[in-house]
């Protein structure tokens, strides 16, 4: 029987505008190529309601491998992911199971090491929940995967990421940990840091100008007396 | 000195009460002004992740709730204090919900800090950060992660100094009071 993989997307954004959703779709392709039955669900949407939590419980229950694919917000996992982790311990989602946990952490900074503390949290969660930790993949320059999708496709930039996901899928298939090599593939910057930061701020300026916000450096809460 | 306390303790009110009591004692002695936000009593929406606080209304979160009051307080504080359960080495989801809403404190522009790329601070005030974590049982790995996250936060928020202390369930009031005093001393909040 095919193993079931559940990708839990921690981005609060809806649909295709999230880097995690774009990257998650690439992972799904590689998983399905290895004959896994794989699906991706949004954590934020599911944990909003009791009904959603029940659905999540059922989804987790029938999965063999759980993969968090989530952005890093201020050095660690977003609140919705922490909330799900707290719930899963309280409701004993994983008690007595032999499930595997892995994580793909995506940050907006050019360097991927900003994901390291978030990956430590996932690993600690696996330990406390009694799951087998299979490893983590760190990806920097997350927004580039949304704003430069067409260019990346033309230049074949997704190939590197696909290779990493292929190695991870192979590891799941063989019941082994994700090799360090897979994590290393995505750790290297795809765009030079200076080019990335220059383009990022240019995009922010263009988007804010469209909204009529010209001064990006406002200090609305600063009190002159302080 | 102005101090803003975010109390996100969920499971042990006694621990948070002890920490808060000691902060109040120190503040009375030193003449500090303290603002306390008890997060379990507040309704906080999670960040929607669209960076509208940089693009649409620079410096202000577009979600109108208590977080705007919290941001107003911490922007004008010299010391931020977080009280939280240590949750898989990180902050509790209630505290994280507020922290996720703090990007308006930074600018979208980048700068290098110790060779790493970070966002520039929006405000001129450089505060200190004190984090008091409560753990159910001893777990060195979890404590190390907690210390690492606080250290990384202090770089991202451009803090002057950051101190993190983790307490175990069985520690008594005197022990907690002493450690809180030590932490305040470390950031120069005790004369």
Q: Closest chain B residue to A123 measured between Cα atoms?
A: B88
Structure tokens at B133: 């974590």
> In chain B, which residues have their Cβ closer than 8 Å to the Cβ of A125?
88
- Candidates A71, A203, A219, A224: best to mutate against B (most CBs of B within 10 A) is A219
> In chain A, which residues have their Cβ closer than 8 Å to the Cβ of B142?
124
Q: Do B47 and A200 touch (CB under 8 A)?
A: no
Which alpha helices (H) appear in chain A, and where do they start and end?
19-33, 43-46, 50-61, 79-90, 116-129, 144-147, 149-155, 158-173, 180-187, 193-210
In a domain, residue B86? The reply is: yes
List Cβ neighbours of A218 (8 Å cut-off, separation of 6 or more). B58, B59
Do the beta carbons of residue A13 and residue A71 sit within 8 Å?
A: no
**Smallest Cα distance from A61 to chain B, Å:** 21
* pLDDT(A135) > 70: yes
In a domain, residue A175? The reply is: yes
> Where residue A62 falls among pLDDT bands split at 50, 70, 90?
very high
Taking residues A189-213, what's their average pLDDT?
94
**CATH number of the structural domain spanning residue B51:** 3.40.50.360
Do the beta carbons of residue A2 and residue A36 sit within 8 Å?
A: yes
- pLDDT tens profile B16-66: 999 999 999 999 999 999 999 999 999 999 999 989 999 999 999 999 999
Burial of A224 (0-12, 13-18, 19+ CB in 10 A): exposed
Q: Closest chain B residue to A87 measured between Cα atoms?
A: B93
Q: What is the DSSP string of B165-186?
A: EEEETT--HHHHHHHHHHHHHH
In a domain, residue A181? The reply is: yes
Domain residues for B127? 2-186
Residues of chain B above pLDDT 70, percent = 100
In a domain, residue A166? The reply is: yes
In a domain, residue B191? The reply is: no
Amino acid A16: pLDDT: 61
Helix then strand count (H, E) for chain B reads 6, 7
In a domain, residue A212? The reply is: no
Categorise residue A118: left if φ over 0, alpha if ψ from -120 to 50, beta otherwise. Answer: alpha
In a domain, residue A41? The reply is: yes
Amino acid A15: pLDDT: 64
* pLDDT(A192) > 80: yes
> Where residue A188 falls among pLDDT bands split at 50, 70, 90?
confident
Burial of B130 (0-12, 13-18, 19+ CB in 10 A): buried
Cα B4 to Cα A210: distance, rounded to the nearest angstrom: 36
In a domain, residue A180? The reply is: yes
Structure tokens at A147: 């704003």
**CATH number of the structural domain spanning residue A73:** 3.40.50.360
Amino acid B69: pLDDT: 96
In a domain, residue A170? The reply is: yes
8-state DSSP, B13: H
Residues of chain B above pLDDT 90, percent = 91
In a domain, residue A214? The reply is: no
> Where residue B180 falls among pLDDT bands split at 50, 70, 90?
very high
Cα B71 to Cα B55: distance, rounded to the nearest angstrom: 18
> Where residue A156 falls among pLDDT bands split at 50, 70, 90?
confident
Amino acid B105: pLDDT: 97
Amino acid B2: pLDDT: 96
**Smallest Cα distance from A133 to chain B, Å:** 14
Could you tell me the pTM of the whole model? 0.95
Taking residues A175-196, what's their average pLDDT?
89
**Higher-confidence residue: A98 or B142?**
B142
**Higher-confidence residue: A8 or B13?**
A8
In a domain, residue B95? The reply is: yes
Domain residues for A157? 4-191
Structure tokens at A203: 């995009």
**Smallest Cα distance from B22 to chain A, Å:** 25
Structure tokens at A91: 């409701």
Taking residues A39-61, what's their average pLDDT?
92
Adjacent-strand bridge partners of B132:
B83, B165
- Tell me how many domains chain B contains: 1
Of A76, A208, A220, the CB nearest to B90: A76
- Tell me how many domains chain A contains: 1
Q: Do A73 and B88 touch (CB under 8 A)?
A: no
Taking residues B122-151, what's their average pLDDT?
96
Amino acid A225: pLDDT: 54
């Amino acid at each position: 029987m095919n193993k079931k993989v559940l990708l839990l997307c921690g981005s609060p954004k809806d649909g295709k505008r999230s880097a995690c959703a774009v990257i998650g779709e690439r992972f799904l392709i590689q998983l399905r190529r290895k004959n896994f039955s794989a699906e991706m669900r949004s954590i934020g949407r599911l944990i909003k309601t009791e009904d959603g939590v029940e659905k999540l419980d059922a989804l987790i229950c029938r999965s063999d491998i759980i993969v968090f694919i989530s952005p890093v917000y201020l050095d660690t996992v977003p609140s919705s992911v922490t909330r799900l982790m707290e719930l899963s311990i309280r409701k004993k989602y994983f008690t007595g199971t032999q499930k595997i946990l892995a994580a793909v952490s995506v940050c907006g900074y050019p360097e991927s090491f900003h994901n390291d503390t978030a990956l430590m949290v996932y690993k600690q969660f696996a330990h406390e929940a009694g799951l087998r930790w299979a490893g983590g993949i760190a990806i920097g320059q997350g927004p580039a995967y949304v704003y430069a999708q067409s260019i990346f496709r033309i230049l074949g930039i997704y190939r590197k990421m696909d290779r990493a996901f292929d190695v991870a899928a192979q590891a799941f298939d063989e019941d082994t940990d994700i090799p360090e090599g897979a994590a290393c593939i995505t750790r290297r910057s795809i765009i030079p840091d200076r080019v990335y930061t220059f383009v990022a701020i240019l995009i922010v300026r263009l988007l804010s100008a469209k909204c009529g916000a010209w001064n990006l450096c406002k200090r609305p809460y600063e009190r002159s007396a302080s | 000195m102005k101090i803003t306390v975010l109390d996100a303790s969920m499971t042990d009110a006694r621990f948070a009460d002890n920490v808060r009591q000691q902060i109040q004692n120190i503040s009375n002695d030193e003449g500090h002004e303290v603002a306390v936000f008890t997060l379990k009593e507040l309704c906080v929406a999670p960040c929607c992740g669209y960076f509208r606080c940089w693009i649409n209304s620079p410096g202000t979160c577009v979600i109108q709730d208590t977080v705007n009051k919290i941001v107003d307080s911490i922007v004008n504080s010299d010391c931020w204090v977080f009280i939280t359960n240590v949750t898989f080495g990180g902050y509790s989801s209630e505290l994280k919900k507020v922290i996720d809403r703090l990007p308006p404190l930074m600018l979208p522009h980048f700068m290098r800090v110790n060779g790493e790329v970070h966002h520039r601070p929006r405000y001129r005030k450089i505060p200190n950060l004190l984090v008091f974590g409560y753990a159910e049982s001893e777990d060195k790995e979890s404590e190390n992660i907690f210390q690492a996250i606080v250290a990384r936060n202090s770089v991202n928020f451009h803090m002057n100094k950051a101190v993190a202390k983790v307490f175990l369930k069985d520690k008594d009031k005197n022990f907690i009071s002493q450690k809180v005093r030590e932490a305040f001393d470390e950031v120069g909040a005790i004369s």
